[in-house]
Amino acid sequence: MSRPKSLDHLPMAKRHELEFVVETLVEQFRKKIANRQSPKLRNAQILKIILFGSYSRDDWVEDPIGRYYSDFDLLIVTSNDEAADFPEYWADTEMMLMRELGEGKRLKTPVSLIVHSLAEVNEQLERGRYFFVDIVRAVLNLSD
């Protein structure tokens, strides 16, 4: 099996932005679930945060003239369905990241989140759903 793809192809500034995004996602998640009554939600975890799309393929676009900028596409894999279907958390976190993007200090790249539980990801992989299979291939540097 191949090793997961590194982020060495990204400029240092983009790596710092991704670090900030990951830290924000994990910290905000931890805060939001800390006082939940449901044990499933209170014990939930973010298992993986996977960069896919143009930034993982090394073909992102930054076009200030045409005003088009690629975004960080992130697949977030949670430990259970309750955590994946926790709209209060994900909407609040997306708004926080949008504010950071607007300020332009720690984040200059838009962020797009897709959230699924590990069970859902595995089910979709078993079904051969292209989106999930493509991400696994890209992360593991596998060819078709």
Q: Answer yes or no: pTM beyond 0.85.
A: yes
Task: Say if strands 62-63 and 68-69 run parallel, antiparallel, or are unpaired.
Answer: antiparallel
The per-residue pLDDT for range 114-139, each reduced to its tens digit, is 999 999 999 999 999 999 999 888 77
* Domains in the chain: ranges and CATH: 12-139 (3.30.460)
Q: Hey, is 54 helix, strand or coil?
A: helix
Residues in CB range of 18: below 8 A, 6 or more apart: 7, 10, 51, 72
The per-residue pLDDT for range 58-108, each reduced to its tens digit, is 899 988 888 888 999 999 999 999 899 877 789 999 999 999 999 999 999
Q: Hey, is 62 helix, strand or coil?
A: strand
pLDDT band at 26 (very low <50, low <70, confident <90, very high): very high
